[in-house]
Amino acid sequence: MDVLKILAIVGSGTVLLLVVELIRRGRLKERYSLLWLFAGGVLLVLSSSRTILEYISNLVGIYYPPSFLFLLAFLFLLLITLHFSVTISGLSEKNKRLAQELALLRQEMRELMLVWTDSKKNMNE
């Protein structure tokens, strides 16, 4: 086994274990872990089996098979960050709605308080 191979296996294995552990502790929601697990899994398989890696690299026309690993890892990261951007967009829209609803509720509350203090005053008189 060459060093690069060991490095690749340890690298992708660590990512997988870390993601699983984060899910187990409830720090990472399953919804956001799927891409990570998939990326870690694919990279682990490709780094442990030279034949598969070489076969695919040949197919795509990459002369140095390990660079296919880098390409794949890069693409996965790109996909994951894109996924984050989509998620953030959704969250900021929801966040905006919440802020607006809160402001509307505050005003309704203010009006109710005015009516309430008025009626209390009238009852005391």
Partner 1 sequence: MRTLVIVPAYNEEESLPGVIRDLRENVHLADILVVNDGSKDATNRIAQESGVAVLNLPFNLGIGGAMQAGYLYAEQRGYDIAVQFDGDGQHLAGEIQKLLLHVREGKADLVIGSRFLDQGGYNTSVFRKSGIWIFSTILSRMLGMRVTDSTSGFRAANRRVIEFFSRTYPDDYPEVEALVLLHKAKLRIVEVAVNMRERTGGTSSITPLRSVYYMVKVLLAIFIDLLKK
Write out the residues near partner 1 by the rule CB under 8 A: 96, 99-100, 102-104, 106-107, 110
CA atoms of 73 and 51, how far apart (whole Å) = 19
Closer by beta carbon to partner 1, 45 or else 109? 109
CB of 94 to partner 1, least distance (A): 12
Contacts of 72 (CB under 8 A, 6+ apart): 42, 43, 46
Closer by beta carbon to partner 1, 21 or else 93? 93
CB of 107 to partner 1, least distance (A): 6
Q: Which of 78, 11, 12, 66 is nearest to 41 (CA)?
A: 12
CB of 83 to partner 1, least distance (A): 20
Element (H, E) at 27: none
